[in-house]
Amino acid sequence: MMGGRQSIPMPRTLFEKLWEAHVVRAETDATPAVIHVDLHLVHEVTSAQAFAELRERGLPVRCPDRTIATMDHSTPTAPRRAHERTLATLPVMPADARAQLEQLAVNCEAFGVPLYPLGDARQGIVHVIGPELGLTQPGMTIVCGDSHTSTHGAFGALAFGIGTSQVAHVLATQCLLQTRPRTMEVQVDGRLAPGVTAKDLILAIIARIGVGGATGHVIEYRGEAIRALSMEERMTVCNMSIEAGARAGLVAPDETTFAYLRGRPHAPRGDGWDAAVARWRDLRTDESAPFDATVTLDASAVTPMITYGTNPGMGMAITDRVPDPALQPADSDREMLGKALRYMGLTPGQPLLGTPVDVVFLGSCTNARLSDLRAAARVLARHRVADGVRMLVVPGSQQVKRAAEAEGLDRIFVRAGAEWREAGCSMCIGMNGDQLRPGQLAVSTSNRNFEGRQGAGGRTLLASPLTAAAAAIAGAVADPRRYLGAET
């Protein structure tokens, strides 16, 4: 570049702006960057060993006011009576899960970390409560010992999952060692059709780029279709960025973001609010800033999606037929697909529509927010869950649960024959006893269809809340548009 033009700043992507604002020590040829963390979310499964390491080293938590803990993974979600609301008063729980939850409470107490435990009105899945409490804000760096931390990127925050050793690093230093990732633009033009949701969009994106397709990259989702999404829908999209291998997913903040955040408990207030919004408006990719990779999609071509295999990239339009391994050109794809279909008990070339299901799970950090429950309730109203099908509805947080109950959604689910449960990760990860039995087939609004993910031997079809509700009614995989006829 010529000397006279050096004063013109280089156009930067949103990611670059976020990264550069948090560099404590720049990356060199010999050492990674030291990156500051604004918000550290903590849960019981990936933190105990980190707190233990702080104890061994005699270190305090550096910024307890930037650290929030909750209980979500190992927590039971069976309906609780009023006197059973806290960990101490819960009747029956596996000893190891109880010990893990108690350890989190001990650690938070000892290190001064705020904790929203079982029984607290703010308890819930860590990626649901961060946004709903207004803790998640544009421009932040957010980490958690949990890969679905990518959810928070929906606010224009750089948010990613870390391992337990790194949890210890952040507890003690509020920083992380990081090498700079590459950037990927996922441009989604057009609009989603009625009956097609953010979940279908992200499943279509992952089917397109593959489960390792975004490895090493931070994705920024852009375009008309993304701008048209609500915050909860953007969270669904960013949540599953990790399922394409991405380090993080981002959506630039806009009026939708600000409207969602205004008035939330931890959001800035008064003059601080106006100043914050003014700062947040700069958090977008500059015109002509280059990305390392670009993928484009036409939202109007996306239809309701469902997975047929054992990773989230094995997805197809719900009206399609299961692909045939014999038709895959690469040996490795043939083997991988064949193995997946054997596990799933599916036949090459068969349609999924009409395939009987045993369980429907509506929940998880992907799809257990109020709008997800509303969407499913809209389909289920005036219908019943088919005989022989178990449907679990697990709100993402206690706050979501209360809001849903206030508008009567719980009654719709219960009247239809579904189970209305307490908040937590539940059958998405099956750590709390909410599990599939071997061989059972589930339509699930969660994020992973890995072998055994929802219980050893269980089989998972990932889909949207609309598709999950349709499957519950039909007792089989069903096109949700069938139940939305009057509205489409």
Partner 1 sequence: MPCREFRSLTAAFAPLPTENVDTDQIIPARFLTTTRRTGLGRHAFHDWRYRVDGSPNPGFVLNDPRFSDARILVAGRNFGCGSSREHAVWALLGAGIEAVVSSQFADIFRGNALGNGLLPVEVPDAIVSELLATGDAIPDQTLTIDLEAQRLTLPDGRSVSFPIAPFAKHRLLNGLDEFDFLLQALPDIEAYEENGSTRAISTITSEVP
Selected from 151, 174, 285, 446, the binder of partner 1 by CB under 8 A is: 174
Report the alpha-carbon distance of residue 300 to residue 64 in Å, rounded. Answer: 45
Cβ at position 253, least distance to partner 1 in Å: 12
Q: What is residue 31's DSSP assignment?
A: S
Interactions with partner 1, residue window 371-410 (CB under 8 A):
none
272 binds partner 1 (CB under 8 A): yes
By CB under 8 A, name the one of 127, 152, 199, 247 that touches partner 1.
247
CB-wise, 140 or 188, nearer to partner 1? Answer: 140
Instruction: Give the interface segment with partner 1, choosing from 41-49, 372-380, 402-410, 468-476 (CB under 8 A).
Output: 41-49
Structural contact between residues 197 and 187, judged by C-beta atoms closer than 8 angstroms: no
**Helix spans in 353-484 (H):** 370-380, 398-406, 409-416, 465-474
Min separation Cβ 287 and partner 1, Å: 19
User: What minimum distance in Å lies between the beta carbon of 286 and partner 1?
Assistant: 14
- Distance between CA atoms of 158 and 138, rounded to whole angstroms? 9
Q: How far is the CB of 211 from partner 1 (least distance, A)?
A: 5
Cα–Cα distance measured from residue 167 to residue 50, given in angstroms and rounded to the nearest whole number:
6
Rounded Cα distance between 325 and 343, Å, is 14
Binding mask 54-73 for partner 1 (x = CB under 8 A): --xx-------xx------x
Kindly tell me which of 177 and 353 has the beta carbon lying closer to partner 1: 177
Indicate whether 445 belongs to the interface with partner 1 (CB under 8 A): no
Check residue 46 for interaction with partner 1 (CB under 8 A).
yes
Q: How far is CA 31 from CA 34, 174, 178, 180, 239, in A?
A: 9, 18, 9, 11, 30
> At residue 84, what is the residue type?
E
Coil vs helix vs strand at 387? coil
Give the type of residue at 198.
Answer: A
Between strands 175-178 and 33-36, the pairing is antiparallel
Q: How far apart are CA 156 and CA 398, in angstroms?
A: 25
If one asks whether residue 283 binds partner 1 (CB under 8 A), the answer comes out as yes
Q: Does 464 bind partner 1 (CB under 8 A)?
A: no
CA distances from 483 to 303, 355, 462 (A): 15, 17, 19
Min dist. Cβ of residue 76 to partner 1 (A): 13
Closer residue to partner 1 in complex, CB, 35/478:
35
Contact status: 238 vs partner 1 (CB under 8 A) = no
Residues between 113 and 152 with contacts to partner 1, criterion CB under 8 A = 133, 135, 137, 139-141, 145-147
Residue 431's contacts (CB-CB under 8 Å, 6 or more residues apart) are 45, 73, 74, 97, 425
Beta partners for 36? Answer: 175
Distance CA 464, CA 478 (A): 12
Q: Which is nearer to partner 1, 54 or 389 (CB)?
A: 54
Q: Provide the minimum distance between the beta carbon of 150 and partner 1 in the complex, in angstroms, as a whole number.
A: 10
Which among 46-54, 84-92, 188-196, 354-362 is the span making contact with partner 1, rule CB under 8 A?
46-54
Residues 14, 39, 240, 477: which binds partner 1 (CB under 8 A)?
39
Among positions 87-116, residues that touch partner 1 (CB under 8 A) are 94, 96-97, 99-100, 103
